[in-house]
Amino acid sequence: MLKARRGLASRIRRPGEYFCRIDVSALWSVIFVLSIMTVMVQTPHHGYFPDVPKSLHAGPLPGAMRDEAMRIALTRDGRYFFGGTQITLGQMAERIRAAVADGAEQRVFLTVDQRLKYRNVKGVADEIRRGGVGRVSFLTK
């Protein structure tokens, strides 16, 4: 007598048997999503790519991570960024004054490309002084 064929499910798992297979497709999908997120986080922010110099005796500056912190970045090609927006050198002093009036700390965190000429950094330092801030911290690796 021939046995009637049932569906695919009965061939994979007979009644009374344990399902002893580990499905790792969910694990691989989580790993894939996390790897994409790490690539997105590692991209430079706000369109400027400063090549920050390394320092042997750097100290932690937790104030630089605040939202209201004044962060200025100088790139090798002569662009200036205040926070995330590109500005000109003439706008820098008034932006600093406005940030201080809004309650920012009396300190500017400066990120400078390591290949930048000193005369460009000196011009920015003069504008920071004109803005009314005397404390400047350089952000390094």
- What are the extents of the domains in the chain? 8-42, 62-138
Give yes or no for residue 2 having a pLDDT over 70: no
What integer pLDDT is reported at residue 83 of this predicted model? 85
pLDDT bucket at 103, cuts 50 / 70 / 90: confident
80 Rama sector, left if φ>0, alpha if ψ -120 to 50, beta otherwise? beta
List the 85-87 sheet strands across, edge first. Answer: 85-87, 80-82, 70-74, 107-112, 135-138
Residues 141, 137: Cα–Cα separation, whole Å: 13
Residues 130, 15: Cα–Cα separation, whole Å: 83
Give yes or no for residue 44 having a pLDDT over 90: no
Give yes or no for residue 7 having a pLDDT over 70: no
Quick one: CATH architecture of 62-138? 2-Layer Sandwich (3.30)
Q: Percent of the chain, pLDDT > 70?
A: 79
Residues 60, 39: Cα–Cα separation, whole Å: 25
Q: What is the mean pLDDT of residues 108-115?
A: 89
Flag the least confident range among 30-34, 59-63, 134-138: 59-63
| Mean residue pLDDT across the chain | 81
CB burial of residue 108 (10 Å; 0-12, 13-18, 19+): buried
The tens digit of pLDDT for each residue in 78-95 reads 889 998 889 998 999 999
Predicted structure pTM score? 0.62
